[in-house]
Structure 1
Amino acid sequence: MTMDWLWFGQVTMAALVDVAFAFAVGSALLGAWLDKDGRAVAAPAHVASMRAQRSAVAAAVALLLAQLAWLLYEAAAVTGSTLTDALSAVPTLLAQTHVGHAWAFAFGASVVLLVMTLAPRAGRLRDALLWLAVIAVAAGRAASGHAADAGLASAALGIQTLHVLTTSVWGGLVISAGFAVLPALGTSTARAVLIRVAGQLSSTSLVAVLFVIATGVFGAVRGTGGSLAPLTLSTWGHLLVFKLTLVALAVVLGGLNRFQALPRLRRTASTMDARTFANVLYLEALAITGAFIAAAALAHSMPGAMAMG
């Protein structure tokens, strides 16, 4: 692994893809939860509902653009050429490599995701297509990484798909709510909606985190080859430790909100407790964003077990 401009470009674009995908997933969930409360223009939750819908559209657009940029960097890395010269290699990359096939699958699903976020308010068909697109994007993202080395029908790829999906649910809810949606529920008239959404966010995140940890342990063991040595003796191991530190920090912050800030908010419904919950959630969103960046670097680095032979 050479940390040159191509590597940094790939990692940057991959991180943007992961963050944008998570933001779209989280915004879609929040939009569904706020749909009924925010339909009327005069409703206290209307602004938050509109933010969730617009965030989902903006994130879906960013996802498509970041995927296009990542593909160009991937072509440049494969051919060892400049970004401009790599354009001619893109068709070959798409047609003849499993990375190209996985990218095309994820990109096609991302187009469907964007169309569904632009569609009218939630309906059964629209919701079904949206979440099928989300699962397909997760599968395509998983297939473009190291998990695909074991084969497209492997348990490793299935577990990695679940990891990407549940990470996007947890991370997406936190970053979308922390950065965009929950601040719009800060008024006292929207306090009841805030408490309800905060409870839904906390419960859904808890379930997602359990899956993230379980699937993440499988991936970590596979990457280290069952040995602790790669954690200290390889760049991949250092990146993994950094990512796990950020994930642990996010879990602690989420736990503080779930077991301390949220129960207090439910009892008092005070502005101070509402701000405490939102502030802790914002810090959790920052930690998760950092974890997404570390995960992108991991995906573009040789696994520790392979690096050590």
Structure 2
Amino acid sequence: MNLDGLSIGQVALAALMDVAFAFALGSALLEGWLARDGAGMRSAPSHAAWHRARGSLVAAAFALVLADAGWFFYQAASMSGTGLVAAIGVVPTAIAKTHVGHAWCAAFAGSVLLLLAALSHRGGRVGRIAFWLAALVVAASKASLGHAADAGAWSAAVGIHALHVLATGVWGGIVLAGGFVVLPALDGSPARGALIRLASRVSQASLVALGVVVLTGSLNAERGLGGSVASLQSSAWGHLLTLKLALVLLAVVLGGLNRISALPRLRRTAATTDAHTFNNVLHLEALAMVAIFIAAAVLAHTAPAA
């Protein structure tokens, strides 16, 4: 990857797309869990957290649409070798005649559908189905925009990477939306029961999503390294992958501390100190998750070692 203005802007927008997508998925899950717990009622102690999850969902979906649109302008400028302003005239041709343009159209349409589903929060079951259908479209399209598409638009590599994007979005989104937005609203004593129940769901869902991330990520890494571990040291892609793995390990350690230590104590005592400990560790995990998404965006815009 060349370190010029276009590439830096494109990577920044790609990272924003990943964070916004994850935030939307995590907010949707947290909102659904809180709604089943009765948080939608104004008198519920956890209503403020539910309201935050709703607002976070809409804001993240809106940010995803804007980041998607901005990213393609940078991509069109990069493909044509022009500036951003001149790239406006290239966009129709890039959409109509390139694989990147076709995949981006699907991703952008999925992002718009995801936003519409987020806005229609009273849509009930139909709205939820539309939301997760849109999430699948976005994940599959983003996989088609990456290195996995080198094996073919309908290849197993694209399918594996699409599952990786979706699982990473769920894992990262629960941590991001939970650590930055939702769980801090349950810090008071009246909402302590809701915090314990939601923290248990966050921990369990994160563990399941992490398992899928590790499996699909291992397959992606093997393909990108060309089956040679030596490429970790001999290529820029390998160095970036090592950095990403180190950040993932940090997030896993923080999540493990919450699951093994903080959460059991919180269940036993329901004490304010233990609630603060869980939320603080989750906040640190969310910061690590942002770094993971930035590293992943740089990795996606760097030629694989293979």
Q: Which residue of 2 aligns with 1:220?
A: 221
User: Distance in 1 between the 2:146 and 2:242 partners?
Assistant: 19
User: Distance in 2 between the 1:122 and 1:102 partners?
Assistant: 28
CA offsets, 1:238-269, max 9 Å, x none?
A: 11111110000001111111111111100000
SS of residue matched to 2:56? helix
Q: Which residue of 2 aligns with 1:84?
A: 85
Are 1:139 and 1:161, in contact at CA under 8 Å, matched by a contact in 2?
Answer: yes
User: Distance in 2 between the 1:156 and 1:120 partners?
Assistant: 34
Q: Which residue of 2 aligns with 1:121?
A: 122
User: Distance in 1 between the 2:266 and 2:138 partners?
Assistant: 36
Alignment map for 1:77-226 (pairs within 5 Å): 77-121=78-122, 123-226=124-227
User: Distance in 2 between the 1:257 and 1:121 partners?
Assistant: 34
Matched, 1:11 2:11: yes
Are 1:178 and 1:278, in contact at CA under 8 Å, matched by a contact in 2?
Answer: yes
Q: What residue ranges of structure 2 are gaps of 5+ in the alignment? A: none
Question: How many Å apart are 1:229 and its aligned residue?
Answer: 2.2
User: Distance in 1 between the 2:246 and 2:152 partners?
Assistant: 30
Q: Which residue of 2 aligns with 1:235?
A: 236
SS of residue matched to 1:61? helix
User: Distance in 2 between the 1:82 and 1:266 partners?
Assistant: 56
User: Distance in 2 between the 1:99 and 1:157 partners?
Assistant: 14
User: Distance in 2 between the 1:190 and 1:53 partners?
Assistant: 18
Give the count of matched residue pairs: 305
Q: Which residue of 1 aligns with 2:28?
A: 28
SS of residue matched to 1:88? coil
- Alignment CA distance shift 1:122-1:32 (3 Å): farther
User: Distance in 2 between the 1:42 and 1:15 partners?
Assistant: 38
Q: Which residue of 2 aligns with 1:291?
A: 292
Question: How many Å apart are 1:121 and its aligned residue?
Answer: 3.2
User: Distance in 2 between the 1:116 and 1:247 partners?
Assistant: 31
Question: How many Å apart are 1:120 and its aligned residue?
Answer: 3.1
Q: Which residue of 2 aligns with 1:268?
A: 269
Following TM superposition, the consecutive aligned residue runs of length 4 or more in structure 1 with deviations greater than 3 angstroms are none
Question: How many Å apart are 1:122 and its aligned residue?
Answer: 5.7
User: Distance in 1 between the 2:122 and 2:257 partners?
Assistant: 34
Amino acid at match of 1:115: L
User: Distance in 2 between the 1:293 and 1:224 partners?
Assistant: 20
Question: How many Å apart are 1:230 and its aligned residue?
Answer: 1.9
Which is further off, 167-176 or 120-129? 120-129
Amino acid at match of 1:4: D
Q: Which residue of 2 aligns with 1:259?
A: 260
Amino acid at match of 1:7: S
CA offsets, 1:40-70, max 9 Å, x none?
A: 2221111100000000000000000001110
TM-score, with structure 1 as normaliser? 0.97
Amino acid at match of 2:110: A
Alignment map for 1:49-68 (pairs within 5 Å): 49-68=50-69
CA offsets, 1:52-95, max 9 Å, x none?
A: 00000000000000011100000111011110011111111111
Amino acid at match of 1:158: G
CA offsets, 1:132-183, max 9 Å, x none?
A: 1111111111110001111122110000000000000000000000000000
User: Distance in 1 between the 2:27 and 2:159 partners?
Assistant: 25
User: Distance in 1 between the 2:289 and 2:227 partners?
Assistant: 26
Are 1:32 and 1:122, in contact at CA under 8 Å, matched by a contact in 2?
Answer: no
Amino acid at match of 2:16: L
SS of residue matched to 1:286? helix
Amino acid at match of 1:285: A
Question: How many Å apart are 1:191 and its aligned residue?
Answer: 0.5
